[in-house]
A and B are shown apart, each in its own frame.
Chain A
Amino acid sequence: MTDMKLTKAINDCIERREKAFVPYIMAGDDGLETLKKNILFLQEAGVTAIEIGIPFSDPVADGPVIQEAGERALAHGVTLRNVLKELASFNKEVTIPLVIMTYLNPILRYGIDEFIKDCGDSGIDGLIIPDLPLEESALLRDSLVGSGIALIPLVSLTSPPDRIRKITAKGEGFIYAVTVNGITGVRDGFDDDLAAHFERLKAVSPVPVLAGFGISTPEQVRTIGALADGVIVGSAIVDAFHRKDLQAVEALVKA
């Protein structure tokens, strides 16, 4: 699935000898009306793609910053359904790929086929579902065939080599390589073996490999970015938008 829009956007970066930069934002943090503004701002700033988080009542893979953003979004009544509807209202202005990150249960409630159809109408190019590992992924994979929407797998530091091969073999869009054991959030240091981990990953993956979890400073964007094909930055971006510190957002994008 290397012909997908998402993969192409990242490969274009690689060809230009640049690193892909994918910011994560919490949809509807400080109200749903911020969604369009933030997406267009990031597009203008030159990001490769955007990961849009859907708030959930029980976000077990998220650290404190994203949990709190999710609680604010939930307090504003943000749901998977109204995020897709909002995105559909301005998707003609969006030229970069958009990826939805949501836990599985809201998709099940929505109805898998209806959800995929609405993703198509809203210009969604990929899905990241943190509680849908390889073993359970057939649940969505079959329905996604022909949709042009990538099911982006996560690989963790605890995934052994044969498992990494199985996961990457089915990889679409890009591989989301989790750089720490644990939840999303700001960290000081990373494992020394990270370079070797990324070497192995890139050697077997048919799609680009992006690093995420715990990357929060421009310096980390550069050091981790050097190992992977690009980075995903979550908590630091969410925090900067919440503080309305757009300079901090730009500093991360331009790192």
Chain B
Amino acid sequence: MVKEASLTQSNGVGRYGKFGGQFVPETLMTALIELEEAYDGAMADSTFVDEVNYYLKDYVGRENPLYFAEKLTKSAGGAKIYLKREDLNHTGAHKINNSLGQALLAVRMGKKKIVAETGAGQHGVATATACALFGLDCVIFMGAEDIRRQELNVFRMELLGAKVVSVNKGAATLKDAVNEALRYWVANVEDTHYILGSALGPHPFPKIVRDFQRVIGVETRRQIMEKEERLPDAIVACIGGGSNAIGMFHPFLDDEDVALYGVEAAGSGIETGLHAAAIADGKEGVLHGAYMYVLQDDDGFIQEAHSISAGLDYPAVGPEHCHLHDIGRVKYTSVTDAGALEGLQLLARTEGIIPALESAHAVKFAVELAKDMAKEEILVICLSGRGDKDVQTVRNALGGGLND
């Protein structure tokens, strides 16, 4: 559709193959250029990096365990399964890694106000937390449908001092929240930093989010070497925008023997059209500042995503993942709502760990994958978040009771 040559010839920066770029209103361009300069300066400054690491350790609780899930392994009857326990972070998910780093960056840039979007509320809670810690004003945009699904997270954000603004446009989910956050940022760009929560959006956001999430993969690599004295054979992570997955995958990209699997949300099933699997069913296009695979119709209008998990309910996938798909380095697959519910219950029963619905997609696929692997092989699941926030949703989905 778009000629490959024309995309790579573009002067644009921040490209992953032909994906990424900076497709934003002119009002934001100066802020993006400033952000990139500030970020590069910060990362080259050991004082800043030490400060981020200090908070990751003493505030977030890193490093979190790489846990050998012996019971789950036995239940699957194949490869040894390890869980990277991002669910044990302060605020209950990997999102805090990025929110904390970007909040410190905002402080360094002299910005006193923060805007963010949230889907499941995990990024909103993480951002509200970081803003409370560093004394920043915080406005969070959240779709009205997600507010309904994640009532308690809204209250958590408010307890932390954030202002939560309900978005009633479109399907009133994550995509619409990003639209409103972008509009707010355009209007308040001079004193406000936008803490984007996934590896999405215009350059340099996909890079910044990835770099702050890389700690997941860096720790996993060190931990598996300590425990097994070798790298894993496979790593599985769920994909909405793709921040936990890119953070986990990135330190392993050059290790060709480590198979990497990204699991999209297949909602009611890819064939029903009601899903959030942009790599499986999307077409190349531009949304929220980046060239990506996007769920869209023949007229180029963006379609609504559908998933039981609010955090995966987004109609595109971050640009670096699109590129990793094109070059075949990461294999992208999908799990339905029903599959995720099975994964969630299985992990709860076997290990006493209730995963977030997002992470449950990865659990479900990983267990199927492990079955086909040899017993001496090793598989790591990125357990990106805990399921406390989803208990009500799961209860409703299971008809108020348990299906056994």
A100 within 8 A of partner (CB):
no
A204 within 8 A of partner (CB):
no
Contacts A67-B169, A139-B6; is A133 near B1 (CB within 8 Å)? no
Contacts of B286 in A (CB 8 A): 103-105, 108, 131
Among candidates B22, B188, B285, B302, residue contacting A136 with C-beta atoms closer than 8 Å: B22
B179 within 8 A of partner (CB):
yes
- CB of A163 within 8 A of CB of B179, answer no
Contacts of A74 in B (CB 8 A): 301
B13 within 8 A of partner (CB):
yes
Q: Which of A47-87 contact B (CB under 8 A)?
A: 56-61, 63, 67, 74, 79-81
- CB of B6 within 8 A of CB of A138, answer yes
Q: List 14 A-B pairs, Cβ < 8 Å.
A: A58-B287, A60-B179, A60-B182, A105-B287, A105-B300, A107-B300, A109-B283, A109-B300, A136-B21, A136-B23, A139-B6, A156-B27, A157-B27, A181-B187
B272 within 8 A of partner (CB):
no
- CB of A106 within 8 A of CB of B169, answer no
Among candidates B7, B10, B175, B179, residue contacting A135 with C-beta atoms closer than 8 Å: B10
Q: Which of A106-144 contact B (CB under 8 A)?
A: 106-112, 130-139, 142-143
- CB of A58 within 8 A of CB of B300, answer no
Q: Which of B132-189 contact A (CB under 8 A)?
A: 169-170, 175, 179, 182-183, 186-189
Which one of B31, B175, B186, B294 has the highest number of Cβ atoms from chain A below 10 Å of its Cβ? B186
A247 within 8 A of partner (CB):
no
Measured in the bound complex, the distance between the Cα atoms of B2 and A137 in whole Å is 14
Among candidates B25, B188, B283, residue contacting A60 with C-beta atoms closer than 8 Å: B25
Q: Which of B1-58 contact A (CB under 8 A)?
A: 1-3, 6-7, 9-13, 21-31
Shortest distance from the beta carbon of A68 to any chain B beta carbon, whole Å: 10
Q: Which of B285-316 contact A (CB under 8 A)?
A: 285-289, 294, 296, 298-303
- CB of A135 within 8 A of CB of B2, answer no
Measured in the bound complex, the distance between the Cα atoms of B12 and A132 in whole Å is 11
A189 within 8 A of partner (CB):
no
Measured in the bound complex, the distance between the Cα atoms of B300 and A74 in whole Å is 12
- CB of A105 within 8 A of CB of B302, answer yes
B372 within 8 A of partner (CB):
no
Contacts of B301 in A (CB 8 A): 56-57, 74, 79, 105-106
Among candidates B26, B187, B190, residue contacting A155 with C-beta atoms closer than 8 Å: B26
Among candidates A58, A109, A111, A158, residue contacting B190 with C-beta atoms closer than 8 Å: A158
Chain B interface (Cβ < 8 Å from any Cβ of A): 1-3, 6-7, 9-13, 21-31, 169-170, 175, 179, 182-183, 186-190, 283-289, 294, 296, 298-303
Measured in the bound complex, the distance between the Cα atoms of B284 and A103 in whole Å is 15
Contacts of A138 in B (CB 8 A): 6, 9-11
- CB of B300 within 8 A of CB of A158, answer no
Shortest distance from the beta carbon of B170 to any chain A beta carbon, whole Å: 7
Contacts A58-B175, A58-B287, A182-B186; is A80 near B26 (CB within 8 Å)? no
- CB of A106 within 8 A of CB of B300, answer yes
Contacts of B12 in A (CB 8 A): 135-136
Q: A106-B299, A159-B30 are in contact. List 17 more A-B contacts (CB 8 A).
A: A58-B175, A60-B25, A60-B182, A61-B186, A67-B169, A104-B286, A105-B301, A109-B296, A111-B1, A112-B2, A131-B23, A133-B25, A134-B11, A138-B9, A158-B27, A160-B30, A182-B186
- CB of B27 within 8 A of CB of A109, answer no
Closest B residue, CB atoms, query A109: B300
Shortest distance from the beta carbon of B133 to any chain A beta carbon, whole Å: 28
Closest A residue, CB atoms, query B23: A131
Contacts of B169 in A (CB 8 A): 67
Measured in the bound complex, the distance between the Cα atoms of B126 and A133 in whole Å is 32
Measured in the bound complex, the distance between the Cα atoms of B41 and A157 in whole Å is 25
Among candidates B22, B170, B183, residue contacting A183 with C-beta atoms closer than 8 Å: B183
Shortest distance from the beta carbon of A232 to any chain B beta carbon, whole Å: 15
- CB of A156 within 8 A of CB of B2, answer no
Shortest distance from the beta carbon of B63 to any chain A beta carbon, whole Å: 38
Contacts of A59 in B (CB 8 A): 179
Among candidates B10, B285, B288, B299, residue contacting A81 with C-beta atoms closer than 8 Å: B299
Among candidates A81, A106, A109, A159, residue contacting B29 with C-beta atoms closer than 8 Å: A159
Shortest distance from the beta carbon of A211 to any chain B beta carbon, whole Å: 14
Measured in the bound complex, the distance between the Cα atoms of B7 and A101 in whole Å is 21
- CB of A181 within 8 A of CB of B30, answer no
Lowest 8 CB-CB distances: which A-B pairs, in order? A109-B300, A182-B187, A106-B300, A156-B27, A79-B299, A57-B301, A105-B300, A154-B26
Measured in the bound complex, the distance between the Cα atoms of B11 and A137 in whole Å is 8
Which one of A61, A105, A112, A167 has the highest number of Cβ atoms from chain B below 10 Å of its Cβ? A105
- CB of A131 within 8 A of CB of B6, answer no
Shortest distance from the beta carbon of A148 to any chain B beta carbon, whole Å: 20
